Amino acid sequence: ELKDIENENVQEIDAHMKDSNISEWVGFIKGPSGTPYEDGHFILDITIPNDYPYNPPKIKFNTKIWHPNISSQTGAICLDVLKNEWSPALTIRTALLSIQALLSDPQPDDPQDAEVAKMYKENYSLFLKTASVWTKTFATGPKLEPREVIVMRNSKTEDAILSAHFLIKKITEMGFTEDQAK
C-alpha cells in the first residue's frame, strides 16, 4: 500500500510510515478547491491495527480544522468508512480520499463536533468564514512537498497559534471586536 501511494504521486494525498514503524503512519491531505479548506495542508495521524485490513485504520486530524464531522478539539473523524462501512477491499489511500471528499461535503446531521454542526446549520456564512480562518491559521504556510510539511511541523508553534486563536475568540465573545482582541 505504501508503495502504491508513493508510486501514484498524487499531490492531493500522501502517507508514509512514522519513524519506520509499520503501524504508525502520517497522512497528508490537501484541502479541496472551492471549499473553505482550499490551500490547506492537513496532517493526519494513522494507526494501523494488528488485524488490518479486516478492521479500519484509526485516523485523526493532527492539524486543527473547523468541520462538523471532525472534532475541533481532538481531530477525531466521524466517517462511516472508518467505522461500520469499512471493508478489507479498502486501503489507506481510499480512506484518505474519503476524508478529503468529506471536506467537500460535510454531513452536519451526523456530527463529530456539535458546536460546528450547529453553526453550519444556523449560520452557514459564519461557518465558512471560521473554517477559512482556521485553514489559514493552522493549515497553510510555505509551499512545501507533503513530506516536508510533515517533517517540519512544530507542535509548540501550532499550540501557541491555537492558544492565541481561542484567547481572541473568548475576548470577542465578551463583546470586543477581533481587532481589539488582537
| Predicted model pTM | 0.76
Concerning whether 78 is annotated as a catalytic residue, the answer is: yes
51 pLDDT above the threshold of 70: yes
pLDDT of residue 166: 52
pLDDT of residue 169: 59
**145 class by beta-carbon count within 10 Å (0-12 exposed, 13-18 middle, 19+ buried):** exposed
pLDDT of residue 52: 96
What pLDDT band is residue 141 in, cutting at 50, 70 and 90?
low
pLDDT of residue 148: 43
Question: What does the pLDDT look like over 65-121, one tens digit per residue?
Answer: 999 999 999 999 999 999 999 999 999 999 999 999 999 999 999 999 999 999 999
- Residue 25, amino acid: W
Biggest CA-to-CA distance, the chain: 53
Question: What does the pLDDT look like over 143-153, one tens digit per residue?
Answer: 444 444 444 34
Average pLDDT, the chain: 84
Average pLDDT over residues 31-55: 96
Q: Which of 78, 81, 116, 131 is catalytic?
A: 78
Range of the domain at 134: 2-181
3-state secondary structure of 14: strand
| Contact call for residues 161 and 138 (beta carbons, < 8 A) | yes
Domain count across the chain: 1
The CATH number assigned to the domain holding 14 equals: 3.10.110.10
